[in-house]
Amino acid sequence: MTVADPHTLTALVEPLIQVGRSMPQAQWPYLASLMRLSLALALGLLIGLERERRGKEAGLRTFGFIALLGAMGGALSDEYAYLILFLTGVLAAFLNLQRLRTNETTELTTSAAMLITCVAGILCGKGHTATPASIIVIVTALLAWKDRLAGFSLGLTENEMRSALLLGILAIVIYPALPLGAIGPWKLIEPRAAWVTVILIAGIGFVNYVLWKLYGARGVVMAGFLGGLVNSSVTVNELASRAKDSDSVSAAYRGILLATAAMLIRNAGLLLMLAPSAALSASVPFALMLAATAGWFFLDSNATHITNGKQAAPVDLPLPFSLTAALKYGLLFLILHITGVVTQQSLGDMGFYAISLIGGLVSSASAVAAAASLLTNESVSVHVASTGAVIASLASVLFHLPLVLQARDRGLTWRLALATLTISAAGIAGAVAASRVLPGLVAEFPWLAQFY
């Protein structure tokens, strides 16, 4: 038996000694470290549970280990985090090679999920909480919705795909090229502000179109509500045109009320995003109009029985986004913005209200956005902007009545006429009450002045 050369043993042990010396020497706070590791483990188990449920080879324990390993690497140092991420990549490659040897398909989705889980674990190890949690929840949702997303993507038409690409081009490519600030001889046009509004309105419509396409055929409630979010006038027109018998008339009645409620929610949300102070002022009339709409909906004796079980007729909505729609939104917004400024300066607030009324008949969303834009430019006050938004919404509600006449059902017409008048009266009463109550609240609670 020969004795190993001491120099050889030293050469073999020296790298291990160097690694030990490079380990962090600081004492980790026990509770903080335990919380980070626990969060990483919980996130790994969450995504691993979904993989385990689908019968994948890398399941609950594997993803839990990967998340814990990433958290330990993140707590140690950046070098160890990179090393652990590399080892996770090697593990994913080994998993795919093993699948190929058994003549099965590769696990590219699971491999990508493993790498994301490792990165999320590293973020947990570095002390992040909300970011890795949000990432893992989103990834788990994408994995769980595989069948639904695949069915939706396969069902997309060429025109719908083009619409999505066009929306991305207008938002990402054209917007940065627009000039900053107001332009023109009278400084009435702000291209970027106008384009943001166009993209926002079109984006809301696009998302709602996707939701409608996924769920709209399941019942009157979903079809009427989601259709109203996309385009309430088109939805009301379609539902009224299909009201032929007693069941379809009752379904059309509820669907039209839901489309009206969806339009009010969309306009209120748009105002909240563009002008929060005006949204606060308009919250009372919008809430009362929604309450009146809900009241008429639930007063229908057949609401629960038919709405939950009856299949809705498909609503022939326009494409989610097109160049024509973008130009229409932009042109209408600019017209309402410019005429709103001119009429407000020459005719006062009543001129602006008249423009809001006309704009609401054409596109209530554009009219609401124009009112918010004028408030941002300090052309009108908070009260005037919120009142203009309410007037535009009321005009859209009233515009539904002529569309209902094509149903040629006197009962449906009278019921919707009474509901429309009630909703309008609630909005007017809410606007009057807000104009009298809110100033008193601001005087009583001065901190509300920053919102009003």
CB neighbours of 150 closer than 8 A, spacing ≥ 6? none
257-269 core/surface letters (b: 16 or more CB in 10 A; e: else): bbbbbbbbbbbbe
Instruction: Find the DSSP H helices in 77-157.
Output: 78-101, 108-125, 130-144, 146-154
Strands (E), 197-317: none
> What CA–CA distances, in Å, run from 186 to 350, 382, 385?
22, 23, 21
| Contact of 190 with 252, CB cutoff 8 Å | no
Return the structure tokens found at 183: 């332009």
In angstroms, rounded to a whole number, what is the distance separating the alpha carbons of residues 195 and 189?
11
Residue 310: per-residue pLDDT: 47
Strand partners, 189: 183
Length of the chain: 452
In angstroms, rounded to a whole number, what is the distance separating the alpha carbons of residues 389 and 276?
12
Sign of CA dihedral 18, 20, 21, 24: positive
> What CA–CA distances, in Å, run from 248 to 98, 102, 319, 412, 414?
57, 56, 25, 11, 16
| Contact of 336 with 359, CB cutoff 8 Å | yes
Residue given tokens 């057949």 in the structure block: 302
User: CA triplet 362, 252, 210: central angle to 5 degrees?
Assistant: 65
Strand partners, 183: 189
CB neighbours of 11 closer than 8 A, spacing ≥ 6? none
The domain spans of the chain are: 27-144, 157-450
In angstroms, rounded to a whole number, what is the distance separating the alpha carbons of residues 94 and 114?
12
Q: How far apart are the two ends of the chain, measured CA to CA in Å?
A: 91
Region for 179 from its dihedrals, namely left if φ exceeds 0, alpha if ψ lies in -120 to 50, beta otherwise:
beta
| Contact of 340 with 352, CB cutoff 8 Å | yes
In this structure, what DSSP letter does residue 189 have?
Answer: B
In angstroms, rounded to a whole number, what is the distance separating the alpha carbons of residues 211 and 268?
19
Residue 243: per-residue pLDDT: 64
Q: Measure CA 80 to chain center.
A: 37
In angstroms, rounded to a whole number, what is the distance separating the alpha carbons of residues 412 and 432?
30
Residue given tokens 């695949």 in the structure block: 150
In angstroms, rounded to a whole number, what is the distance separating the alpha carbons of residues 416 and 399?
12
Instruction: Report the interhelical angle of 364-376 vs 276-299 (nearest 10°).
Output: 150
Tell me the residue type at 121: G
How would you write the pLDDT of the chain (452 residues) with one tens digit per residue? 444 455 555 555 565 455 555 555 446 678 888 999 999 999 999 999 999 988 888 889 999 999 999 999 999 889 999 999 999 999 999 988 888 888 677 888 899 999 999 999 999 999 999 999 999 999 999 998 887 777 767 777 777 777 777 778 878 888 888 887 767 666 667 777 777 767 776 776 676 567 666 665 455 556 677 777 767 777 777 677 666 555 567 777 888 888 899 899 999 998 888 888 888 889 889 999 999 999 998 887 554 444 444 444 455 555 555 667 666 767 777 787 788 777 877 778 888 888 888 888 877 888 888 888 888 877 888 888 889 999 999 998 988 888 777 667 777 888 888 998 899 999 999 888 877 776 665 556 555 555 55
Phi, psi (5° rounding) for residue 183? -130, 175
CB neighbours of 236 closer than 8 A, spacing ≥ 6? 228, 256, 259, 260, 400, 403, 404
Residue 285: helix, strand or coil by DSSP? helix
Return the structure tokens found at 117: 């889980």
CB neighbours of 207 closer than 8 A, spacing ≥ 6? none
| Contact of 302 with 174, CB cutoff 8 Å | no
In angstroms, rounded to a whole number, what is the distance separating the alpha carbons of residues 419 and 121?
55
In angstroms, rounded to a whole number, what is the distance separating the alpha carbons of residues 205 and 336?
20
Residue 306: per-residue pLDDT: 42
Alpha-carbon Rg for the chain, nearest whole angstrom, is 30
